[in-house]
Amino acid sequence: MTYHILDAAGLRDWLVQQPELSERLGGKADDWSIREVSDGNLNTVFLVTGPTGALCCKQALPHVRVAPNWPMPLERALYESRYMQTMAPAVPGLMPEFLAYDADLFLIVMECLTAHEVLRSALIADRALPGFSAVIGTYVARTVQATGWVNQPFETGARLLEQFSGNTALTRITVDLILTDPYRVCDRNPEPEAGLREDVKALQNDQTLHLAVGRLQERFLTARQALLHGDLHTGSIMLDGSDVRVIDGEFATMGPVGFDCGLYLGNLALHLCAVPHKAAFLRDEMLAFWQNFSTELRSSLSKEGGDQWALSGPATRQDLIETFLNGILRDTAGFCGLEMVRRTVGFAQVADYGVCSTEKDRLLARQKALQIGRTLVVQGASLRSFADILSLMGL
Amino acid sequence: MTYHILDAAGLRDWLVQQPELSERLGGKADDWSIREVSDGNLNTVFLVTGPTGALCCKQALPHVRVAPNWPMPLERALYESRYMQTMAPAVPGLMPEFLAYDADLFLIVMECLTAHEVLRSALIADRALPGFSAVIGTYVARTVQATGWVNQPFETGARLLEQFSGNTALTRITVDLILTDPYRVCDRNPEPEAGLREDVKALQNDQTLHLAVGRLQERFLTARQALLHGDLHTGSIMLDGSDVRVIDGEFATMGPVGFDCGLYLGNLALHLCAVPHKAAFLRDEMLAFWQNFSTELRSSLSKEGGDQWALSGPATRQDLIETFLNGILRDTAGFCGLEMVRRTVGFAQVADYGVCSTEKDRLLARQKALQIGRTLVVQGASLRSFADILSLMGL
């Protein structure tokens, strides 16, 4: 079947041809209800419900969904399906179950999370139960264990480099929107609100900041430590009570572990800027993230198995692990700062600022995010503990 | 044509089918003289001479040539052909001209360097004219310019990661023979001469050394800065007077630039240990290498064009360049040390020690190489100038 954009009827016809998926839905094709719930920037998403089960079907569009003039290669669906299949054994219960991929239609079928809500929405509505960040810390640690060089023969990482380095269309978005555009004059940047114009101009003329951004560009492009999710913000996480799932791995690429950590924490910090009275709650979440992440990672890295650090005895290994974690901490601070800046002034901003009750509050929240973001980017490389990051956030 | 090991007659039949290659040789097939000159560890090599031209034909064998029980995937010829085609535009006149690749026979055809001699042999015979290292410095700088992230859009590096990360069979040799085996008990390690047994045992029990080797393993596997030659020793370089060519790119992989620099310098340093009275000559060569390498690289990195450092003005860029070069210097020292150790006690040792006139001199030369190698590995990460490297070599 050649590629075409599916509507509900087309999807129904396709599902009929898939015995395992049809069986999971149960009943006959006419019994299935199909609802489009497209919400992100890039794809169409359908939820299909049958008498005995439900499916989530995600199809790549040949352009940005919200900007039809911006073409976007379909192959991103291939990389998302590879990401899900690569990570599934490592993070059971922490992402939707992967069910099928159609290479012609660039269509992924996965478990339907009907009871779940996007974390960002839950945070904005003040409905997120404490504890979700601990799960995300575990998630990131386990992805590093499964795809990094310490716990696997080097051939694993080499194969992942081979399989994911072609994901350039989406990595180009990261390179432009996160690592470059917010710091230069660029058509993609939206016109800032009047009160923020001077701040935006300052970002474009700040040599100290540009130097630090340059170092983070270098880290992102050269430090191929593990397979990243690549877009781990609060909109890429769904939860239902304490059941937490990571979705949307289409930005997957080998890169520095601190990139995933930094994007996640950056989105919590953005929420903090918009809703400062939740400081204690968000501080606990950030701490729990880092606590779980570093504890799980220390534990897995202390096991032998990979080519990296193959010679080390227990004492040597401890030393190598702490140096590695310190490097991740510094990268985390830097990428956290970049995420805060770009989500405040760049192409894809966050809904969290909508919580601010007045225009003035919103402006202050954005300025706060830019100030914290800049500080994290500039000072990130000299930080020594997670408490330093919290302190720069005023926590 | 399915793969089979070519003999001279088989090669002649194949060449007859290749109009461009036949034309280059001139005359008829019966006029061509074909001579096998296999010399390295892994392949058969034929030189074909006709009335108007000559060719070098290199075919991969399914096993290590000198160890038929050690299987070796044929695909390495594909990676060498990719390396030659990738680098050819960047280093005109510095490698043999690439002429053809047969994907079924895993056969590369290139310019024949009949007048040239392998640098290692020229050094051993004391025939190498000064100046070859300056050319190698230029060579490495230009490969970094062509394949790194600073002078190219990031998609270039991503494509190279995709194209070369599958070269795991030969990278496995690097990981084992250079980065691991010399520091552990391993069947591949040859039995050391009696006088060296204690030194070998010391390498296997040196926790400080193992820690530093662990950091270099991490650098080799994660720091994907540019496309490496991957085996840039004095046996991979041929010269005819001042005409210097780099050959044998089958170990090509994206990695830390200091790996190529370190292997090259390490082989000069090994020669120094075997022939200490050539210290002044070798010191000048090493200096010329680094001088040309760093000058050319500074110049190319100061030009805009790539995604890495895209924001930087001249001052910022200068700062980024110096940090990058300092990192390369530290990696260079470490990998230089690893090369000196592994070529002295590991599976593939160097012929340079054959110059020593007595057994005692040879033992002293080897011990000297191990001592310098260890020091470079352990202290490499704290060096600040190329003079520091020379000083650790006693130069």
What pLDDT digit, counting tens, does each position of B315-333 carry? 899 999 999 999 999 999 9
* Residues B66 and B191 occupy one common structural domain: no
Within a domain: residue A89?
A: yes
Token look-up 């006088």 returns B195
Residues near B13 by beta carbon (within 8 Å), at least 6 away in sequence: none
Q: What is the DSSP letter of B2?
A: -
In 10 A of CB A2, how many CB atoms?
5
Q: Give the structural domain span for B206.
A: 117-392
Interface contact B198, partner A, CB < 8 A: no
B contacts of A308 (beta carbons < 8 Å): 214, 217-218, 221-222
Last-in-domain residue among B111, B134, B167 = B111
Residue A202: predicted pLDDT? 98
User: What are the tens digits of pLDDT across the range A7-57?
Assistant: 999 999 999 999 999 999 999 999 999 999 987 778 999 999 999 999 999
Contact B228, B79 (CB under 8 A): no
Task: Please tell me which of the candidates A157, A165, A180 has its beta carbon nearest to residue B162.
Answer: A165
User: What are the tens digits of pLDDT across the range B168-201?
Assistant: 999 999 999 999 999 999 999 999 999 999 999 9
Last-in-domain residue among A111, A129, A149 = A111
Contact B110, B87 (CB under 8 A): no
- With 80 as the cut, is the pLDDT of residue A273 above it? yes
Q: Work out whether strand A67-71 and strand A63-64 pair parallel, antiparallel, or are unpaired.
A: antiparallel
As a whole number, mean pLDDT of residues B328-349 equals: 97
Token look-up 């250079």 returns B178
Do residue A217 and residue B157 have CB atoms under 8 angstroms apart? no
For A49, A174, A251, A347, B27, the CA distances from A188, given in Å and listed in that order, are 38, 13, 19, 6, 62
Do residue B165 and residue A166 have CB atoms under 8 angstroms apart? no
Within a domain: residue A3?
A: no
As a whole number, mean pLDDT of residues A252-273 equals: 98
DSSP A325-342: HHHHHHHHHHHHHHHHHH
In 10 A of CB B314, how many CB atoms?
7
Q: Could you give the CA distance from residue A265 to residue A328 in angstroms, rounded to a whole number?
A: 13
Within a domain: residue B258?
A: yes
* Residues B317 and B266 occupy one common structural domain: yes
The two tokens of residue B74 are: 């044929």
Within a domain: residue A211?
A: yes
- With 80 as the cut, is the pLDDT of residue B39 above it? no
In 10 A of CB A145, how many CB atoms?
22
Within a domain: residue A42?
A: yes
Q: Could you give the CA distance from residue A116 to residue A239 in angstroms, rounded to a whole number?
A: 5
CA A316 to chain centre: 33
B contacts of A166 (beta carbons < 8 Å): 158-159, 162
Q: What is the DSSP letter of A52?
A: S
Within a domain: residue A2?
A: no
Q: Which amino acid is at A270?
A: L
Model's pTM, two decimal places?
A: 0.97
* Residues A92 and A142 occupy one common structural domain: no
Chain A residue nearest residue B226, CA to CA: A222
| Alpha-helical runs (H) found in chain B | 8-16, 19-25, 76-87, 119-124, 132-147, 154-164, 168-173, 197-204, 207-222, 257-274, 279-301, 314-345, 359-379, 386-392
**Residue B356's pLDDT band (boundaries 50, 70, 90)?**
very high
Beta bridge partners of B71: B63
The two tokens of residue B13 are: 């039949």
DSSP B108-152: EEEE--TT-EEHHHHHHTT-PPTTHHHHHHHHHHHHHHHHSSSSS
Q: Could you give the CA distance from residue B88 to residue B78 in angstroms, rounded to a whole number?
A: 15
* Residues A104 and A121 occupy one common structural domain: no
Identify the CATH number of the domain in which residue A84 sits.
3.30.200.20
Q: Could you give the CA distance from residue B25 to residue A344 in angstroms, rounded to a whole number?
A: 66
Helix (H) or strand (E) holding A360: helix A359-379
Identify the CATH number of the domain in which residue A285 sits.
3.90.1200.10
* Residues A158 and A237 occupy one common structural domain: yes
Within a domain: residue B347?
A: yes
Residue B313: predicted pLDDT? 84
- With 80 as the cut, is the pLDDT of residue A317 above it? yes
Q: Could you give the CA distance from residue B28 to residue B52 in angstroms, rounded to a whole number?
A: 11
Q: Could you give the CA distance from residue A64 to residue A45 in angstroms, rounded to a whole number?
A: 14
Interface contact A224, partner B, CB < 8 A: yes
Helix (H) or strand (E) holding A343: helix A314-345
Q: Which of B171, B186, B221, B326 is the best mutation test for A, with the most CBs of A within 10 A?
A: B221
Do residue B161 and residue A157 have CB atoms under 8 angstroms apart? no
Do residue A166 and residue B162 have CB atoms under 8 angstroms apart? yes
Interface contact B149, partner A, CB < 8 A: yes
The count of residues in chain A is 395
* Residues A46 and A28 occupy one common structural domain: yes
User: What are the tens digits of pLDDT across the range B211-236?
Assistant: 999 999 999 999 999 999 999 999 99
* Residues A349 and A224 occupy one common structural domain: yes
**Predicted ipTM of the assembly:** 0.96
Which of A 203-222 lie inside 8 A of B, CB atoms? 207, 210-211, 213-215, 217-218, 221-222
DSSP B3-54: -----HHHHHHHHHT-HHHHHHH-S-GGG-EEEE---SSSEEEEEEE-SS-E
Three-state DSSP at B237 gives strand
As a whole number, mean pLDDT of residues A98-106 equals: 98
Do residue A175 and residue B154 have CB atoms under 8 angstroms apart? yes
Q: Could you give the CA distance from residue B192 to residue B186 in angstroms, rounded to a whole number?
A: 12
* Residues B133 and B88 occupy one common structural domain: no
Contact A140, A225 (CB under 8 A): no
Helix axes B279-301, B257-274, angle to 10 degrees: 170
* Residues A149 and A74 occupy one common structural domain: no
Instruction: Tell me how many domains chain A contains.
Output: 2
Last-in-domain residue among B111, B141, B171 = B111
Helix axes A359-379, A314-345, angle to 10 degrees: 150
In 10 A of CB B310, how many CB atoms?
21
As a whole number, mean pLDDT of residues B126-146 equals: 98
Q: Could you give the CA distance from residue A266 to residue A343 in angstroms, rounded to a whole number?
A: 9
In 10 A of CB A1, how many CB atoms?
11
* Residues A78 and A208 occupy one common structural domain: no
Within a domain: residue A1?
A: no
B contacts of A158 (beta carbons < 8 Å): 165-168, 171
| Alpha-helical runs (H) found in A187-275 | 197-204, 207-222, 257-274
Four-residue CA torsion sign, B271, B276, B277, B280: positive
Q: Could you give the CA distance from residue A141 to residue A117 in angstroms, rounded to a whole number?
A: 23
Q: What is the DSSP letter of B73?
A: -
Do residue A309 and residue B154 have CB atoms under 8 angstroms apart? no
* Residues B255 and B366 occupy one common structural domain: yes
* Residues A198 and A343 occupy one common structural domain: yes
